[in-house]
Amino acid sequence: MAAAEGSAPQAEVFVYPRSITTTSQTNPPARMSIASPINLVLLSLFVVLLYFHFRPKQPVTLPRGPPPVVFRTYTPKTLIEFNGEDGRPVFLAVRGRVFDVSPGRNFYGPGGPYENFAGRDASRGLAHQSFDEEMLTKDLSGPLDDLKDLDADQLENLQSWEERFSEKYLVVGKLVAEGDPEAPKS
Amino acid sequence: MADQTPILEKLDAALSELLADWNIYTTVFAGILAAFAIYSVISNKDPDVHPFLLARQSTASPIRQTGESATYRSLETPYGFPLRQGLNVKDPGAPKWTAGRRGDLRDIWKTAVRGALNEDGTTSGKQGKIYTVLGKNAVEHSLAQVTQEINVIGRHLQKAEVKTVAVCLTDSIELLAAIFAGSFYGFKIVLIPHNLPATTLSSHLQNSKADALIAEVGSLDLSLVAKANKQLSVVIWVAKYGNRHMDWHGVPKDVKGTLEVAVWHELAEEVKDLSGFDVPEYDPTTSTPAVHTVWPSASQSGEFIEFKQENLAAAISALGSALPRNQRFNSSDLVLSIDSLSRSYPLCQIFNALFSNASIALNSVAGEDVDFALATKGVSPTVIIASSRTMSEYHDHVMKPHTGLISSLGRWVQAQTLDAGNMPSQNFFSRLAQVGPTAELSLENLRLLCISHRVDAAASVRLTSEQLTDLRIYMGARIVYALTGPGIAGAISQTNVFDYRDLNGPSHFGAPLSSTEITLTGVSENQTSEENPEGQIMVAGPAVVDGKTTLSSRGRIATDNTIGLCA
């Protein structure tokens, strides 16, 4: 109310001439117009505020995560493709399980210390703690390495490697020998 | 600088002219505007749960098999972690940091009798109560009294050397006591829905090879049942309060020698002094017999499901942990089940309530299709367990027709709050909304509705998001909506209690519980990764009988990783 009273003299000074031109002098309540510009401004402000308060809120949506990798059956011949060259993922097999070791590309990928294992059955190499070429099965069409000649220490070694892989990397498939009934027909 | 002054002057003049129109209306407008702005700021609350948790409600495994979807799991037990196995019961005296046992029904009863714990882990001695609702009255039972009945019935059946006990009762204290007696005294319990025709009941008894039967007096023709079931050696009748004075020891002539008939309340009275009020001692390492239930199937007979105690323990624990900490059942709750305890979801929720030291109320009319208003009379529960059929019929036949203009206005205001992610508190608008639709109910204390939907129930009783919003507003309670399936203890999945989103169409069923995981099978490989995977629902986990089951229904995983049923 204080504000209204304070501005009342001003109102007479500024509004009076205009009301003469528009409406008749004999109608003083016309000065108390409800549709004055200031009221319209306030009204529209109110409407905007109302809208923001009651506007329909869309539920939040998150983008879909990466699509899941399909579990596949590999043979030594199809696995060798995944040696990390040309940006392909790096896979290696341990006792028939194929691990996707792409996150550790620096170690297992091309140029890394373990690069010989990329795309191969690494079981024997890991058991012997050796990254040499001799540890790999040469004949890709032959049966898988059965690891029968390993001693207890080597098997334990292999076991601990396998556990480490299982913790860190995803099993994306299994490795079977060429010609195995489970092998995919090419 | 020179040409800036005129602009400022012009602005000043324009402003003065604008303000010159200030009058009494302007003051009123300004007042309203200021009041609304202040209200808007004050009433602005953080949503009950972070919106991101609703936008992705379960985790998907990073790998899938050909023709299947990824495996979806609850956020509590993501891929690579073990699913929830059991109740994690810690025996007194066990080292503090050891993992608890999986537990079984005996631990649930022991915990219920022990009473609620204080903050510091000492017992407060505050036990829950059990009420049986009879029409408008509720009869109160103490847990000690029920323990005594467990002992009486358990010993009686143990002496008779029975292996399998069929229980054909309405929801009652006797039903509950019989289930626990089975666990403590080592016999298998077969829960058979009541009100079955005598021939169906008889064939159920044959199938389950039950050698004892607990049933309500007068509910079945004993001579017919006994003739078809030569293996039956003990019958215990349960007499209601009204007809206890009668003699119920009559045995049909042709089975007189082989069949022993007893009456529950007489047994309890006779050996009252011999059996203590104490929970029987037990060795937690011994295994306890299974609980069988009948899953209603399209064929008349229904399908027997054998829940091992491990299945039940995992499911009960998962149902408990599915609720956020401040929403869990606690000792001040009164949990009313208006859905039959022979169904696994109500059964597990009632066990969950007992394990949480809440009070429970049982209603003899409970079932899948009951009158919600009638069934909730007599007590003022804080939690109600009901079926989707009951709720959908109550919504369609009572609430909807009684929603007038005023209720709709109140609903609209409340729905705004729900959309913002907050549960509306009881205020003027909530009373406005509830004036018509729930006039006949007296549920002042209700805070949670647990609704379960059978995966093979009619699609017409599947609740829509809008119906759930209606129920939330008109009953002033939060809702969890669970999907149940044959061979799965508790539920497959359950909605987040804070998920108030009103999406179009039938509501989803939330994320898998922490004791189950869902994989869709028979998924088309032609789908693009942007499409929602759709296929037959396969459920696995500790709550599933034999570890894994494939349901006949097809489901869909939505963008927010919740499961829904197709068509």
Question: For B61, which DSSP code?
Answer: P
Looking at per-residue confidence, does B102 or B439 come out higher?
B102
Q: How far apart are the first and last CA of chain B?
A: 72
Other CB atoms closer than 10 Å to residue A124's CB: what's the count?
A: 19
Whether A50 and A131 map to the same domain: the answer is: no
Q: Note the pLDDT tens digit of each residue in B277-297.
A: 788 888 888 888 999 988 877
Residue A45 lies in a domain: yes
Chain A nearest CA to B504, separation (Å): 12
* Residue A7 maps to a domain: no
Are A21 and A110 within one domain? Answer: no
**CB-based contact B484:B455 (threshold 8 Å):** yes
Q: Across chain A, what does the average pLDDT equal?
A: 79
Regarding whether A81 and A29 lie in a shared domain, the answer is no
In a domain, A127, yes or no: yes
Tell whether A180 is covered by a domain: no
Contact B64 A68 (CB under 8 A): yes
Judge whether residue B350 has pLDDT over 80: yes
Residues of B within 8 A of A35 (CB-CB) are none
Kindly determine whether residue A68 and residue B62, on different chains, have CB atoms separated by under 8 Å. Answer: yes
Give tens-digit pLDDT for A94-124. 999 999 999 988 888 888 888 888 998 888 8
CATH code assigned at A123: 3.10.120.10
Given this model, what pLDDT does residue A29 score? 47
User: What pLDDT sits at residue B199?
Assistant: 84
C-alpha distance from residue B532 to each of A3, B554, B560 (Å): 61, 13, 10
B510 and B494 Cβ atoms separated by less than 8 Å: yes
pLDDT of residue B2: 53
A35 inside domain: yes
Name which of B26, B69, B416 is nearest A42 (Cβ-Cβ).
B26
User: Coil, strand or helix: which one is A129?
Assistant: coil
Q: Give strand pairing partners of A64.
A: none
The answer as to whether A64 is a domain residue is no
Task: Indicate yes or no: CB of A61 within 8 angstroms of CB of B52.
Answer: no
CA nearest neighbour of B40 among A55, A43, A50:
A50
> What's the pLDDT band for B461 if we cut at 50, 70, 90?
very high
Give CA angle at B386 (B382, B387), nearest 5°: 160
- Nearest Cα to B101, choosing from B326, B245, B328, B284? B284
Query: What pLDDT shows up at residue B426?
Result: 78
Q: What are phi and psi of B549, to 5 degrees?
A: -150, 150
* Contact at CB, A7 and B419, closer than 8 angstroms: no
Q: Are A50 and A78 found together in one domain?
A: no
Do both A77 and A169 map to the same domain? yes
Could you tell me which residues come within 8 angstroms of residue B524 by beta carbon, excluding any fewer than 6 positions away? B534, B535
Give chain A's domain count: 2
Q: What is the DSSP letter of B325?
A: G
A183 in a structural domain:
no
pTM: 0.86
Q: Poorest-confidence range of A10-19, B389-398, B433-442?
A: A10-19
Chain B residues with CB inside 8 Å of A46's CB? 29, 32-33, 36
Q: Quick one: DSSP state of residue A88?
A: P
Chain A residues with beta carbon closer than 8 angstroms to that of B36: 46, 49-50, 53
Per-residue pLDDT at A2: 42
DSSP states of B98-159: SPPB---HHHHHHHHHH--B-TTS-B------EEEEETTEEEEE-HHHHHHHHHHHHHHHHH
pLDDT given for residue A17 in this prediction: 44
Question: Is position A2 within any domain?
Answer: no
The CA distance from B530 to the nearest CA of chain A, in Å, is: 8
Predicted pLDDT of residue B545: 93
Residue B145's CB: how many other CB atoms inside 10 A? 15
Which residue ranges form the domains of chain B, and what is each CATH number? 61-83+310-402+437-565 (3.40.50.12780), 138-307 (3.40.50.980)
Which pLDDT band holds residue A91 (cuts at 50, 70, 90)? very high
Is the model more confident about A32 or about B5?
Answer: B5
**Which of these ranges, A165-169, A182-186, B25-29, B98-102, has the smallest mean pLDDT?**
A182-186
Of B2-6, B372-376, B526-530, give the range with the top mean pLDDT: B372-376
Q: What is the rounded CA–CA span in Å between residue B148 and residue B152?
A: 6
| pLDDT score at B565 | 94
Question: DSSP class of residue B397?
Answer: I
Q: Which domain holds residue A41?
A: 14-54
pLDDT tens, position by position, B114-170: 888 888 778 887 889 999 988 788 899 999 889 999 999 999 999 999 999 999 999
Mean pLDDT over the full length of chain B: 88
Same domain for A18 and A84: no
Q: Is the domain of A108 the same as that of A30?
A: no
Please state the φ and ψ torsions of residue B112, each to the nearest 5 degrees: -65, -40
Residue A186 confidence (pLDDT) above 80: no
Q: Is residue A102 located within the same domain as residue A30? A: no
Query: How many residues appear in chain B?
Result: 567
pLDDT computed for residue B468 by the predictor: 96
Q: How far apart are CA B217 and CA B422, in angstroms?
A: 50
Residue A95 and residue A125 share a domain: yes
Q: What ipTM does this complex have?
A: 0.72
Residue A77 and residue A29 in one domain: no
Three-state DSSP state, B464:
strand
Burial B530-566 (b: 16+ CB within 10 A, else e): eeebbbbbbbbbbbbbeeebebebebbbeebbbbbbe
To the nearest whole Å, the CA of A133 is away from the closest chain B CA by 31
Of B21, B419, B501, the CB nearest to A38: B21
B446-474: b or e for each residue (b if 16 or more CB lie within 10 Å)? Answer: bbbbbbbbbbbbeeebbbbbbbbbbbbbb
Decide if pLDDT at A19 tops 60. Answer: no
Residues A149 and A79 in one domain: yes
Cα–Cα dist B490/B510, whole Å? 14
Q: Rounded to the nearest 10 degrees, how much is the dihedral formed by the CA atoms of B256, B257, B258, B263?
A: 50
List CB contacts of A84: < 8 A, sequence separation 6 or more. Answer: A90, A102, A105, A108, A109, A110, A115, A118, A119
Q: How far is A152 from chain B (nearest CA, A)?
A: 29
The Cα of A94 is separated from the nearest Cα of chain B by a number of Å equal to: 18
Q: For residue A3, which residues of chain B lie inside 8 Å, CB to CB?
A: 22, 27
What residues have CB less than 8 Å from B416, skipping those under 6 apart? A54
Q: Inform me whether the pLDDT recorded for B268 exceeds 90.
A: no
Q: Phi, psi at residue B248, to the nearest 5°?
A: -110, 20
Q: Using CA atoms, how far apart are residues B547 and B538, in angstroms rounded to an integer?
A: 11
Tens digits of per-residue pLDDT, B103-114? Answer: 999 999 999 998
Given CB atoms, is B559 within the 8 Å cutoff of chain A?
A: yes
End-to-end CA distance of chain A: 89
Are A59 and B420 a contacting pair at CB < 8 A? no
Question: Tokens 């996707």 belong to which residue?
Answer: A100
Tell me how far CA of residue B534 lies from CA of B7, B401, B463, B524, B554, in angstroms.
65, 36, 20, 8, 7
End of a domain among A5, A23, A54? A54
Query: Which positions ≥6 away from A126 have C-beta within 8 Å?
Result: A94, A117, A157, A158, A161, A162
Residues of B within 8 A of A11 (CB-CB) are 20-23
**Is A41 in the same domain as A83?**
no
